[in-house]
Amino acid sequence: MSRERSEAVIYRLVKYSDSSAIAMAFSRVYGKLKLFIPKAYTKKGGVISFMPGMLDFVKKPTDLSRYYSFEPDTAFYKYLNNHDIILRLHLIFEIYDGLYHMDMPDEKLYDLILKMDDTNFRKITPYIIYFMLKHSGVMFELDACVNCASDEDLYTVTSSGIFCSVCSADLSLTSCCDKESSYIIKCFGNSSLYRNLTVNRKQEIQVLTALSGYAEHVLERPLKSIKTVFDII
């Protein structure tokens, strides 16, 4: 077992004793890690959640790795001062924790998270959720009705996927999104189109309603963080 250093985000701390914790981290190189942090709640050894930085640890063959230190990247202190970003990171990592297995690295996902800032959080959060669902192999097709596979008039988006107008009427479905928000979802699969879109508050709410509902359907459990996100949007 060798000592390792990797860029990482510690996204969850569960209290183990008065000062120690079991932590979950997302490492650029190693993916999901479970760590024992002996002084997680002390001034000297305390760690900051949702802050990118450099993790120093020993990766063990068991699922619990040994933690040595974490050095926050000062360039991302902006995360700590922005509730809009922090609460969306809670949602992103709740979905990540349910979809990704241990030792499943995803450098592109890590880079996407680092791109989040106070100018793009409405736009990048839905895309990151789509990316995780797609990378995990569970995302519904964006260009075909989930019921009949038609590629025409796809504007009804529900927690089960996207439907054409005929199936939507036959099944008496109500869309989470209007046509503009449905178009945003359909653009996820085309990075050049999505890059040129703008996403406003109303559209973010509609798109997140659809994606979080679908994620809950996939994970077979409710997402605790989505209500908090909606409360502050």
pLDDT digits (tens, 9 = 90+) for 160-197: 999 999 999 999 999 999 999 999 999 999 989 999 99
Under the banding of pLDDT at 50, 70 and 90, the label for residue 45 is: low
Percent of the chain with pLDDT over 90: 84
* CATH 1.20.1440 is the classification of domain 82-232: yes
CB atoms within 10 A of CB 197: 13
Residues of the chain with CATH 1.20.1440: 82-232
Cα(149)–Cα(190) distance, rounded to whole angstroms? Answer: 19
**pTM for the whole thing?**
0.94
Which token pair is 173? Answer: 């479905």
Residues of the chain with CATH 2.40.50.140: 3-75
CATH assignment, 3-75 = 2.40.50.140
The residues, any chain, with a CB within 8 Å of residue 99's CB and separated by 6 or more, are 132, 133, 136, 138, 215, 218, 219
Tell whether the model's pLDDT for residue 105 goes beyond 70: yes
Cα(154)–Cα(100) distance, rounded to whole angstroms? Answer: 29
